[in-house]
Structure 1
Amino acid sequence: MRQPEEFAKEGKEHMVCKLDKAIYGFEENIADQCIYLKTCGSRFIFLVLQVGDILLAINDHNLLKDTKELLSNNFEIKDLGEVVFVLGIEIQRGRAQGLLSMSQKTYIERILKRFDMSMCFGQKVPLAKGDLKKEHYPKSKEEEEKMRNKRYASLVGSIMYAQVCTRPDPALCISKMGIFQSNPGMQHWIAGKKILRYVQRTKAYMLIYRCTENLELVGYVGANFGKAEDDYISTSGFLFKMAGAAVAWKTAKQSGVSSSTIFSKYIAFYKATSHAVWLRNFIKDIKVVDSISRPIRIYNDNTAAVFHCMNNKISSIL
């Protein structure tokens, strides 16, 4: 811990401060300051902080025992054993098959109960074309008054948490729902109930990670071109996979109107590449995934955009 500015005494500028109750021996991840790593030869342990909760991931049980002892000697802690639920996420293991899965079925069931949809019928798709439009804003004082009693923002936020943690599939719908939070109409509310019907049918969906000798990060990116009927702004999306399942994803409207398909794809590619750089730094600092030193493959479905990314030149295919 460095000395504060103007605190150092002359001749002692090289000295550092001792931080009481720090967890000495752990290195902070440069990309995510809530993750710490400690290594002892080939043994390693990760310490993941989330407010008042701590998760430990290890490859050696003796190191785990020593770390718990270190923590209990310096902090007041309660050991809850092997994690099953954390932050609404259920973790299941299939050690014989080398599997680890994450789901939010219990959390989704609580959402459905909160909005009186526990017994609703499932729906195959979250939304259909035309379900969310600006023309669906309230058109009368009566409708505005009726919408005041609808928990639209709460519905969006509740599903958004599941989408951020384990459910990339409704990301586009939640992104579009969020646009209308300032003044939702009855049709927007009905669209939200449709998404609840979709998560009712898919509440048992989970991310399943498989043990593999070739850990490789792979990305997929795409964009539509001006498909939004209200403002003609394209939507970008990317997803990165590792160990057989998604580890990062995002869907969002672009900041402005693109002049062509290639540029809407190019913007999406830029956003995905920026996130890939962050993931590379994060995984590199974990120090247990050697494959991250290789180039990250990112797939795009537009030949012209790929050409432009590689050459940054104009050609006849643009």
Structure 2
Amino acid sequence: MKKDPCPPLPLHTPDSKLKQRLAPLRTQGRSSGITLHTGSLEIFTTFFSHSAYVSTFELRDVSHALSDPNWVNAMHEELENFERNHVWDLVEPLPNCRPIGTKWVFKNKQGENGMVMRNKVRLVAQGFCQKEEIDYEETFAPVARLEAIRILLTFAASKGFKLQQMVVKSAFLNGFIEKEVYVRQPSGFESAKFPNWLRKALYGLKQAPIAWYARLKSFLLKSGFVMGSVDKTLFLLSRGGDTMIVQIYVDDIIFGGSSHALVSSFAEQMSREFEMSLMGELQFFLGLQIKQCPEGTFVHQAKYTRDIFKKFEMGDSKPMTTPMSTNTALDADEDGEAVDQKEF
């Protein structure tokens, strides 16, 4: 017998015990129990102020997550995002309806110093079960290249723009989908043996990226922006002699302009249309640490360098001006084992 590549997930109706267990977990807090041995007093204090509200351990099993109040709170927050965005409706199963499975994904969001700032939970669809031309058509969505980000930083520095950053919360939940798609209810939160009919895109769906990009592009064009002829993630706005530039990278948005009023107006428009997190001045993006000064914009990767040292256990190595002699000539090792050059 041929095995089903997309086995159905078990569905339960939560009993009173589950409801009683989930309710108090939303308000409880628990310390991680981890002690910092190094760092300044400020970092020490910040760590323990966060430890009462976040878990420092990433989980893979939903059964363990349901016993941790910090992760349960994050799961409730994700489902509340679904409700606010009207992502789905609970419906009765249709005769030929084959719902797509869902899965909880747990991730810790870290700051520049590696401290856990937030427990992030995503409910994703098992999109590998979707069939082309039945469940979806287009999947491609343009993404800004790193070279484009560097050009933007250079342009902003030359014009004296202060670049700002904002993040769209649960961005993919804002994208409308054209095909009729059904998904199973999330594990641990089932209310009946019914599937959910999706109104909007869900993380994990094949068409989710293009659905979100189409929604954001439509909003920017209606707001008077002009899309770049080459870079489809770059948008320009000219109004009354002032200029504003917007660069999008999935749910991250970098923006700046010659007029503070124009920039503030754009941030307010975005906040009215989508649920946003305004990050303030651009400081950290795609692994780049950015410092904007009157003298210019400086880019470095101190955190990335520290992570590399830690990964390869080189934290105690002595600093050198060059990693090896500049006069050493190397030949290709034809018989050697190939290595991943990007890793180094």
TM over 0.5: no
Structure richer in helix, relative to its length: 1
TM-score for both structures, normalised by structure 1: 0.36
Greater relative CO, 1 or 2 (CA 8 Å, sep 6+):
2
